[in-house]
Amino acid sequence: MHKIVKSLLAASVAVSTSVAVAGNSDINNKDAMAMQEYFKNKLPGVEMSSLIHGAYALDESRFDQFMNIEEFPPYEDFVAKGEEFYNTPFKNGKSFADCFGDDPSAVKAKYPHWDSKKESVVTLEEDINKCLTDNGEKALGWKKGMMAYVSGYLATEARGQTINVVVPDDPKAIAAYEDGKKHFYQKRGQLNLSCADCHVYYGSSYVRSEVLSPATGQASHFPVYRQKWANGSPNEDGLGTLHRRYGGCNKQVRAKPFKAQSEEYKNLEFFHTSMSNGLEYNGPAYRK
Amino acid sequence: MKHLAKIAAGVSAALLLSSSVAFAGGKAAPTKENFEKALAQANAALDRAASVEGEWRDSRWKKSTFVKYKTKDGKTHKSSFLGAAEIAAADGDYASAMKFAETATFQGNMGYEQAVGQKNIGPRF
């Protein structure tokens, strides 16, 4: 465990050094390290790198069950549909490769990022729809269905790569990051709970029979296949995007959810994904 | 003696005044006009909460199914507090409608205070 924490620290220092040279802010790496140090102390014996498996990393029996499910992943067919859609040319003869480049494994890790021209955080799902509409195709829904399938395919291609969200040294980018951070720590809704209440201060604690996953590592495995979502779907389609989950979390604390791909959720994704900097992408993954 | 009479008259006047204020400030009668005032008040409170990203789920969100209200035709409607207020008012039940609108106002005020009170919040580690 100490070896992994040391390697994460070293990687982070390396990242921050290169980041500083490239004119980027190191604000998110400092926050990510502080959160990872917090979990290191809170969860002795748990390797930080294993937190990409969420609550399953905290219990051997649950982890074994999770790995058994992952042997024949229930999302496989949906990801295959996403791959097919991604590789099917548009009516104008162009394809996703014209927007994202020839290597699909190099796409996922570029998101979320700050776009200085748009003065906004840009997400993968946003650019998938931009590519479609720029080529005269119909935009996809943001939260599930083909959007989650395509996003799931690109996540599969990026497995094993290191998460490294960069916040440029630009006051507007830093403000967006800080806005996402505030959203994460701000209590909201009738239950007066913040994202951090459940996934930092009570991350690893039980809520009835469920274990709350730590925030570190959460963004690594999206889009996610949730059994709860599959149960409510006629074709057992449980695949959903990160913003679908954000909306669900907000609803659970009885706060009015924001729209998927709203500025609020894009900024939250900017911060939230940063908190997993240094860990590996492993999406999509199964969750209860 | 005259002095005591003056005090007694003063106390009586004060009591009379306070009772009339209490009457005027008590629950408004369940009428269409008063419901519309309560509805406007609720929307204003919720707009204020929304302006600081502090609106709660069941105050007026159209997808909320939290409040269950049975209309005179026996049908049960599921909606937000403000949605239920409008359903009850359309059913002529202004007493329930005003109660729902008041709850929505309360939630709007609480949501606003919650968001404003934590505008500088950050990690506790």
Q: Is any Cβ of chain B less than 8 angstroms from the Cβ of A175?
A: no
Q: SS3 string of B34-73?
A: HHHHHHHHHHHHHHHHHHCCCCEHHHHCCCCCCEEEECCC
Q: Look at residue A1 and tell me whether its pLDDT is greater than 90.
A: no
Residue B26 pLDDT level (bands cut at 50, 70, 90): low
- Whether residue A13 is predicted with pLDDT greater than 50 in this model: the reply is no
Average pLDDT, chain A: 92
pLDDT in tens, A217-227: 999 999 999 99
Is A17 within the bounds of a domain?
Answer: no
CA distance A216 to chain B (A): 14
Residues 6+ apart with CB under 8 A from A23: A168, A169
Mean pLDDT computed over B79-102: 98
End-to-end CA distance of chain B, in Å? 71
B108 vs B43: CA distance, rounded Å: 8
Q: Do A188 and B54 touch (CB under 8 A)?
A: yes
pLDDT level of residue B3 (50, 70, 90 thresholds): low
Decide if A2 is inside a domain: no
Q: Residue-wise over A155-183: b if at least 16 C-beta within 10 A, else e?
A: bbbbbeeebbbbbbeeeebbebbbbbbbb
Q: Which tens digits make up the pLDDT trace of A125-155?
A: 999 999 999 999 999 999 999 999 999 999 9
SS3 B101: helix
> Is there a catalytic annotation at residue A198?
no
In a domain, A12, yes or no: no
Q: What is the CATH number of the domain that holds A129?
A: 1.10.760.10
Residue A14 falls inside a structural domain? no
Residue type, A100: F
In a domain, A256, yes or no: yes
When pLDDT is averaged across residues B34-53 and rounded to a whole number, the result is 98
Q: Taking CB atoms and an 8 Å limit, are A188 and B115 in contact across chains?
A: yes
Q: Mean pLDDT over residues A198-206, rounded? A: 95
Question: Who among B110, B114, B125 is closest to A34 (CB)?
Answer: B125
Q: How far does CA B117 lie from the centroid of its chain? A: 21
Write phi, then psi, for A207 (nearest 5 degrees): -120, 105
**pLDDT for the residue B6:** 55
The closest CB to that of A186, out of B61, B107, B121, belongs to B121
CA distance B104 to A253: 17
Domains in chain A, number: 1
**Binning pLDDT at 50, 70 and 90, where does residue B23 land?**
very low
Compute φ and ψ for A25, nearest 5 degrees.
-75, 150
pLDDT (mean) for B37-54: 98
CA distance B38 to chain A (A): 21
Does a structural domain hold residue A124? Answer: yes
Interface of B with A in 39-68 (CB under 8 A): 50, 53-59, 61
pLDDT tens by residue, A76-115: 999 999 999 999 999 999 999 999 999 999 999 999 999 9
pLDDT at B2 over 70: no
Q: Which long-range contacts (CB under 8 A, 24 or more apart) does A192-201 make?
A: A192/A253, A192/B114, A193/A253, A194/B121, A195/A249, A195/A268, A195/A272, A196/B123, A198/A249, A200/A35, A200/A38, A200/B123, A200/B125, A201/B124
Question: What is the per-residue pLDDT across A34-69, written as a single tens digit (0 to 9) for each?
Answer: 999 999 999 999 999 999 999 999 999 999 999 999
Q: What is this structure's pTM?
A: 0.88
Domain boundaries, chain B: 2-117
Percent of chain A topping pLDDT 90: 90
The distance from CA A167 to its chain's CA centroid, rounded to whole angstroms, is 16
Instruction: Say whether pLDDT at A29 is over 90.
Output: yes
Q: How many CB atoms lie within 10 A of CB B3?
A: 7
Alpha-carbon distance A70 to nearest alpha carbon in chain B (angstroms):
34
**Average pLDDT over every residue of A223-239:** 96
The domain of A64 spans 24-288
Does A198 map to a domain?
yes
